[in-house]
Amino acid sequence: MSLSTEKTNSLRESILALGFDRVGFAPALVVDDYPRYQSWLDAGYAGGMEYMHRNCCLREDPRELLAEARSVIMVSMNYHWPSEDKAVDERGRVSRYARGRDYHKVMRKRLQNVELILREEFGAQATRVCVDSAPLLERSLAAAAGLGWIGKNTLLIDERLGSWTFLAALLCDLDLPADSPVADRCGNCTACLEACPTQAFPEPGLLDASKCISYLTIEHKGEIDDDLAGQMDNHIFGCDICQEVCPWNTKAPMTEIEDFRPRELVSTPLLSELLQLDEAGFLKRFAGTPVMRAGLDGMKRNARIALANSRRS
Ligand code: B12
């Protein structure tokens, strides 16, 4: 079913009114970038993220997730809060996206409200909410839906919001008019590629996740090679370096979403305190935030590395 222009505009407005910063539509068709994904896997750049290999072909076409899908509604949300200066006093640094309430929960709830509106007011009969964990190439789809361009650091960059955004998708059986992609505005800038302490970008727009501090601190299981650990400074969960140096992020507005307000005990914890935590203490401090993903053992490993790095410098 296709919608009139008037109806389409009213749908966009309803979605933005639910607290999303941007919305765009892409057709639910084969994703052009899929071969890039396949070669990324083949090159071993997914490191130990076995789940990226599992069901990998589902990412080729959103209709693998919802057979009736005709359109993909892509949304983004700004999570940019002012950040403290580089942490001192043997404190660790948690990346900005993980300092407040888990975005999976925040976005899913809001998209479920969009889902209701689509069904009740716009006649959709088949819908599916996808926040991060579904096998969907969110950045490719967001770029196709005109939400920004894919930068050399592989992040989706929005001219107004920079890259401090979360992405999510809602698949539906309505025929929505596709938005146009925006032009790549990275130009000759290579700040992100040069700033990466572990040289995790073999080329612009390509990330070797097995070297990325974000991967090492969040997804990697077991010990971390000394060479890489020595470059991790005090990053104990995720890394923002390739975003912090991006000129498009210097003027990015702050978010007004209270859920993303950094929690004091989460953002820059004392490393010695982390090393003392038991499961109950870990839960008390990090429940409801993305940090839960690393688990207590992962966070203690990261804290040990950060402490060793701070004592060496
Ligand atoms: C696995 C994963 C990771 C891995 C691997 C990251 C990576 N670059 O692949 C690790 C753990 C390292 C990671 C780190 C981070 N992640 Co992450 N991650 C994902 C996840 C689950 C899948 C990404 C994926 O498929 N990677 C495989 C590669 C090959 O795909 P890709 O980078 O998306 O690239 C595709 C397209 O962008 C396109 N493409 C890429 N470059 C170019 C260039 C050109 C010219 C063209 C034409 C196309 C093109 O082709 C690729 C194949 O389709 C997505 C959620 C999702 N379902 O998509 C979140 C996601 C990408 N992550 C996100 C975030 C916030 C982060 C971190 C900032 C967190 C942090 N602070 O530590 C870092 C950023 C590191 C970085 N520079 O990417 C956000 C990004 C939001 C945004 N504005 O871009 C996402 C979308 C989650 C979300 N729902 O908001 N992540």
Q: Are strands 93-94 and 235-237 parallel, antiparallel or unpaired?
A: parallel
Taking CA atoms, 245 is separated from 96, 206, 228, 251, in Å, by: 14, 17, 21, 12
pLDDT of the residue at 2? 80
CA 114 to chain centre: 21
Residues classed as catalytic: 132
CA 79 – ligand 1 centroid, Å: 16
List 162's β-bridge partners, or say none: 158
CA 258 – ligand 1 centroid, Å: 25
For atom 18 of ligand 1, the residue with the nearest CA is 132
pLDDT of the residue at 23? 98
Q: What is the largest CA-CA distance in the chain?
A: 64
* Average pLDDT per 10 consecutive residues for the chain, totaling 313 residues: 88 97 98 97 97 94 98 98 70 97 97 98 97 96 98 98 98 97 98 98 98 98 97 97 97 94 93 97 98 98 97 82
Ligand 1 atom with the smallest distance to the CA of 237 is 72
List 150's β-bridge partners, or say none: 156
Q: What is the DSSP letter of 86?
A: S
Ligand 1 atom with the smallest distance to the CA of 207 is 8
Phi–psi pair at 135, nearest 5 degrees: -70, 80
Angle at 116 between CA 113 and CA 121, to 5 degrees: 125
CA 65 – ligand 1 centroid, Å: 19
Could you tell me which residues come within 8 angstroms of residue 94 by beta carbon, excluding any fewer than 6 positions away? Answer: 236, 237, 238, 266, 267, 268, 269, 291
Question: Terminal CA-to-CA distance of the chain, rounded, Å?
Answer: 62
For atom 30 of ligand 1, the residue with the nearest CA is 37
CA 141 – ligand 1 centroid, Å: 12
**Residue labelled with tokens 């960059």:** 157
pLDDT of the residue at 85? 52
pTM of the predicted model as reported, rounded to 2 decimal places: 0.97
pLDDT of the residue at 87? 54
- Does residue 167's CB lie within 6 angstroms of at least one atom of ligand 1? yes
